[in-house]
Homo-oligomer: A and B are copies of this chain.
Amino acid sequence: MPMELHPFDQAIALQADGPDRFSGHCGRSYWNMLGPFGGISAATALQAVLQHPALLGEPVSLTVNYASALVEGPFTIIARPVRTNRSTQHWMLELQQQGAGGALETNLSATALTARRRPTWGASDVPFPGVPASDSLETVRHVFPLEWFHRYQLASVCGGIPDAWDGTENGAGPDTASLTRVWMRDMPLRVLDFCSLTALADVFFPRVFLRRATRVPSGTVSMTVYFHAGGELLRQCGSGFVLGQARGQVYRNGFFDQTAQLWSAAGEPLATSTQVVYYKE
């Protein structure tokens, strides 16, 4: 009897559909407010690269631009290796769906870099923060009725969703006013890989919520992920918790940006990320 696919693997599943073309289906299992959780769309874009027969190496960077909310139903990804060097490869991607008028529309664009990496000198200037172990913390209750929240188990260290949406501006000072640290992992449990790590980089709620204790309408418009771990290290993380840290930078005229870092439970840096987010007022 075939084992049922994990919801994550179902969501990012792609079928080769011609040279540089893949087809997939956008379902409800990672549904956010108006479309799927952005992290799952980013993971799906990366999956097209990883499944492409011309792939060289492993992911180094990925930038995903959210042009319009995906709708439930089929989609096509065009994934082109635009340049292949000796040890690096550059990718351009578009995810398209049929629009209201019947024509194909681009709902997501992306670029990626993959590379064959070699051992070198290494270091980190973003040291693993001293935080309580995940099993000493309570897992977060899901306060928003959003389907994708149920696909993650979160244990908040600091900077959780505000207790009261009373519009009080956070006066903790720039170092911590928008700082979140949270343990997170897939639910049901799933062994970590490049795609699930990509999605985890988008789990942090918009910093503007934390900063203003107000649920300002907002949504990510572009996210970049840099991968600092190889596939073997990710596999070794198994289905353990990943520590995520996010912090806002500048909020101005309808857009703000936030940076993020992700570490394994053993303190190994896995990825860094940044995103720019639209907010309404």
Interface residues of A (CB under 8 A from B): 60-61, 63, 65, 67-68, 82-83, 85, 88, 90, 92, 94, 105-107, 109-111, 113, 115, 117-127, 174-175, 177-178, 207, 211-212, 221-222, 224, 226, 228-230, 247-255, 257, 259, 261, 269, 272, 274, 276, 278-281
Contacts and interface: CB of A to CB of B under 8 A. Distances in A.
Contact of A125 (B67, B249, B272, B274): B249
Contacts of A121: 212, 251, 281
* The 4 A-B residue pairs with the shortest CB-CB distance in the complex, in nearest-first order: A67-B83, A117-B253, A67-B90, A63-B63
A211 B172 CA distance: 32
21 contacts: A60-B221, A60-B222, A82-B109, A88-B221, A92-B92, A111-B111, A113-B222, A115-B254, A118-B254, A120-B252, A120-B281, A125-B175, A125-B177, A125-B248, A125-B249, A126-B174, A126-B249, A226-B257, A230-B253, A252-B269, A259-B274
A78 to B, nearest CB: 11
A249 B124 contact: yes
A121 B60 CA distance: 35
Given A68-B83, A118-B254, A123-B251, 18 more contacts: A65-B111, A67-B82, A88-B278, A90-B106, A111-B111, A120-B251, A120-B281, A121-B212, A121-B281, A122-B250, A122-B253, A123-B211, A124-B250, A222-B224, A226-B250, A228-B250, A257-B272, A274-B274
Contact of A221 (B113, B254, B269): B113
Contacts of A90: 65, 67, 106, 109
